[in-house]
Chain A
Amino acid sequence: MSWSIGHSVYRKDGLEKVTGRAKYTGDHSSKDMLHIKMVVSSYAHAKIKAINTTKALKVSGVRGIVLGQPFPLTGEEIKDRPPIAYDKVRYHGEPVAVVVADTALQAQKAAELIEVTYEPLPVVNSPKNALLPGAPLVHENLAVYERIEHVYPEANTNIADRIKIRKGCMNEGWKASHEMVEASFSFSQSDHMAMETRCVIAEIHPDGCVVFTSATQSPYMIKHLMSDYFNLEDGKIIVKTPLVGGAFGGKVAVQLELIAYMASLAVGGRPVKLVNTREEDMITSPVHIGLDATIKLGATKDGQLTAAEILYMFDTGAYSDKGATISRAAAVTSTGPYHIDNVWCDSLCVYTNHPYVTAYRGFGHSELSFAFERAMDMLAKKLDMNPLELRMKNAILPGQTTPTQIRLNESTVGNLPNCIETLKQQMNWNEGQVIPINDRKVRAKGISCIWKTSTIDSDASSGVILVFNRDGSVNIESGVVEIGMGTKTVLAQMLAEKLKMDVNKIFVKMEIDTQSIPEHWKTVASRGTLMAGRALLKAADDAIVQMKDIASRVLMCSPDELEVGNERVYVRDEPDIYIKVKDICYGYKYPHGYAIGGQVIGRGQYMLRHLTHIDPKTGVGRPGPEYTVAAQGAEIEFDTRDYTYKILKAYSVIDAGIVLNRKLAKGQVMGAMEMGLNFGSSETFVFSEQGEVLNSRLRTYTPFRYGDHPEYVVSFIETPYIESAYGARGLGEHGLIGMPAALANALSVASGMELNRLPLTPEAIWRKKIGVNEY
């Protein structure tokens, strides 16, 4: 019998969230708090000639103004970014000055009075243009920046990193192929658009402790990076993170914390609060990466893929921060979930004068999948083969190798053919891809296949502490941030399962405090359930040992004879001989007064096993543990006259391993699918010729609203991932990944054109049709 695993247990944060009692970072304020307003660049690339703060300083209530400094330079892989621009600005929206004042209003008034004189510079407006000979350099000093060992910037170019995959022999691959397709694909940057804009409160105490309250996915990384950038003692940096109002990767970046720290420093350590406006959140803080890609595929007559030559040019914007890591993740899984013997891939992280990027749900995968899965459909057309059959024929299987030449097994790769077959049934694929409705409208279907592993630091770790209460209930302390995905509810379910107890007697601490809660590296990469789950099981084992130890003395038997369950510790084959957990979880007191043991405190930690860096020349290596694979589809109703369309149904068949909480899992997948469809159909930044973002507000950015949602058809294949607690695979991102490609494939067959640029607005389709330049 299952105690909790697989049940749709309600969210542990549910009541707080429906009563308005849930507190987010911005909900915290106090009378002694000062307020920050940023002045941001109106140019995408310009020399800062002068900054005049005279008028601003005269505004009543202004306590300080902070301008850019040459150091420290910051960045996770390459230190290329001053927290406040110094000497020149490299993107529209970049912070150039910061005002601290008694009220937000005074800060804003003063910010408007700061006069910045710029000398505009030529702009790099796309990755392709960035690579042209003679392109302006975004970073003149790229060669001398400090960097980690495994990133390879190319001096005097706009290339921040180049990741190479060299598998097999391309000559042989092309020789073996009978048909070939080659095409280019692209989309611009866009935004995460979490409903809570990024915000932070910072304060420096007299003893030197720096305390942040931050809306972040990576409180422990703030601690680490602050220590590194500003040479502070690790123990003196304390980060608190209450509930976070959506993140989608966007709150991985450590940005506002640096500015708030500098601002607090400027006012004697007083508490300061910085809340992004929506417009700042969309362009000043980091964004979703853009891509220019070229893909060349070769296959035999019967559709066996023989060669893939792939060039990904990612638009990291003005700074490399996570852009290099994303480019690497895309290289690792560059071919999509297919077995190909011969692969050549260069994945480039390219500087432009666009906002800089950070992680975005899927971490490079929806991006590469759009390009690769479009190429697969083009190949199928050329082969005159059913696109679903082409995918089935090449689907990655246990025993085969990845582009980084890791051999997979059933546990690590799951069952993609099963996903494809299930999708085929659910979409009623055999009825055809385009079904006429009337003389104007058609119904059309498109599919895509995806896979994803995580490419996080190979020494990333996660810790869990379990603390028992006197009544036998348990508190879970984990460093996973509750950003909406419900991992902490799932952790409670795992513990209920392990201790065979009622999940309602398990409490989870939602807020993070890095001073007391063990680290969970970052709440990213769909890794919470695996890493914190394993740490939790280890902590539970630790607690069980302690309970059995005390109980064995009370029950006068060996601890080996005992089991824990039903809130009792009992003799295995005589369960009537037991002691209640509540009578020993704070130690045991004998009738005459002697006492033994003490509060039971379980501790556990987990670190991913056997991960490696990838080889700089060939890409060989093991950057992540297991893969989640999926087959996805979109069904649309397309108007062939005006190119408008409605998304009728969206499908996901995901091998998620064992599903731990069905409704939470389905919710993650549906939400991600919606995001992917939104990205594919309408989301994009519109850049001017000068690199300015023209639509940095929700009214012009067109997020999906209630009623735009299609019917979701979600199903799970459950091939266990043996390494994880209860067999789950990563799931938080995967619903998004194949959606832009599936939509583009459906629209391409519906319109009879190869639609290789996102987003697919009716206007974009019309432009393609009549041959007007796509913007």
Chain B
Amino acid sequence: MNKSEITLNVNSEERSVYVRHSDTLLYVLREELGLTGAKPGCLNGDCGACTVDVDGQAMKSCLMLAIEAVGKKITTVEGLQNIPLKTAFIKKFAFQCGYCTPGFLMNSNSLINNYPQADDIQIKDCLESNICRCTGYKEIEEAVKSVLADGSTGNGNY
């Protein structure tokens, strides 16, 4: 099978990797780059566990080919700098098994950066693309709102 060498900018590092043209970004992140924070949950764009940040927007990495990500700035949960958000998830008990957490963090981070004044409807619009089966979503709501209320953005220091 044919592979091409591409260079991806992941978590501010240039990473060269050989990929099949049909390899998804999720597959390459996990299997080639060892970044297993993004999780497979459905490989169909339904659950959001694989969400990463591409050029400042939340993106389901199972719906994007790795070659489409060339020249873009990719951030995975391993490179997420939003300490207040991560801390809020711990303090509000916003996860249990933790499997959906990287996806929720990346999606919430994008929400906070793009809509720092987000209201309930905007929060729902963004976060309903991810599924959490353990919590009743209440704790996730509290965590995200606590960071929004703080006015902390993704670049903020804790």
Contacts and interface: CB of A to CB of B under 8 A. Distances in A.
Partners in one complex: yes
B37 A707 contact: no
B135 A196 contact: no
Given A19-B77, A19-B78, A29-B31, A674 B105 contact: no
A670 B136 contact: yes
Interface string A238-269: 00000111111000000000000000000000
Interface string B23-45: 00000001100011111111110
Contacts of A703: 131, 133
Nearest to B46: A698
Interface string A118-157: 0000000000000000000000000000000000000000
B21 to A, nearest CB: 13
Interface in B91-140: 91, 93, 95-102, 105, 123-124, 127-140
Interface in B127-156: 127-141
Contacts of B124: 706-707
A26 B137 CA distance: 25
B105 A698 contact: no
A200 interface: no
A24 B99 contact: yes
B131 A705 contact: yes
A709 interface: yes
Contacts of A483: 97
A14 B37 CA distance: 14
A194 B47 contact: no
Contacts of B131: 195, 698, 703, 705
A193 B77 CA distance: 23
Interface residues of A, number: 56
A16 B100 CA distance: 13
A485 B133 contact: no
A697 B46 contact: yes
A193 B31 contact: no
A18 B136 contact: no
A195 B41 contact: yes
Contact of B90 (A18, A23, A277): A18
B40 A484 contact: no
A574 interface: no
B66 interface: no
Contact of B44 (A13, A195, A486, A698): A698
Given A10-B91, A698-B44, A712-B138, A18 B39 contact: no
B49 to A, nearest CB: 6
Most chain A CB within a 10 A radius of its CB, from B80, B89, B95, B141: B95
Contacts of A712: 136, 138
Nearest to A247: B97
B8 to A, nearest CB: 17
A450 to B, nearest CB: 17
B134 A11 contact: no
B128 A706 contact: yes
A484 B134 contact: yes
A86 to B, nearest CB: 30
B86 interface: yes
Contacts of A699: 44, 46
B93 A673 contact: no
B76 interface: yes
Contacts of A278: 41-44, 46-47
A484 B96 contact: yes
Contacts of B49: 195
A289 interface: no
Interface string A477-521: 000000111100000000000000000000000000000000000
Given A17-B101, A698-B131, A277 B93 contact: no
A195 B95 contact: no
Contacts of B47: 195, 278, 698
B43 A246 contact: no
Contact of B93 (A247, A667, A675): A667
Contact of B78 (A20, A247, A248): A20
Contacts of A698: 41-42, 44, 46-47, 131
B135 A671 contact: yes
Nearest to A60: B1
User: Which residue among A13, A17, A708 has the maximum number of chain B CB atoms within 10 Å of its CB?
Assistant: A17
Contacts of B98: 13, 16-18, 22, 243, 245, 484
Nearest to B140: A706
Contacts of B140: 706
A20 B42 contact: no
A745 interface: no
B39 A24 contact: yes
Given A698-B46, A706-B127, A675 B97 contact: no
A463 B103 CA distance: 35
A701 to B, nearest CB: 9
B97 A245 contact: yes
A19 B135 contact: no
A668 B42 CA distance: 24
A663 B96 contact: no
Contact of B128 (A14, A27, A663, A705): A705
A285 interface: no
Nearest to B88: A18
A20 B36 contact: yes
A585 interface: no
Contacts of A668: 96
B132 A664 contact: no
A197 interface: yes
A698 B43 CA distance: 10
A20 B99 CA distance: 9
B46 A243 contact: no
A706 B105 contact: no
B97 A484 contact: yes
Nearest to B124: A707
A674 B95 contact: no
B97 A244 contact: yes
Contact of A485 (B35, B96, B105, B132): B96
Contacts of A16: 98
A704 B132 CA distance: 8
B154 to A, nearest CB: 14
Interface of A: 8, 10-11, 13-24, 26-27, 29, 193-197, 243-248, 275, 277-278, 483-486, 663-664, 667-668, 670-671, 673-675, 697-699, 703-709, 712
Give 6 closest A-B pairs by Cβ, nearest first: A20-B37, A245-B99, A484-B97, A17-B98, A484-B96, A20-B77
16 contacts: A11-B93, A13-B98, A17-B95, A18-B90, A243-B98, A244-B97, A486-B96, A663-B93, A667-B139, A671-B134, A697-B42, A698-B46, A703-B133, A705-B129, A707-B128, A708-B128
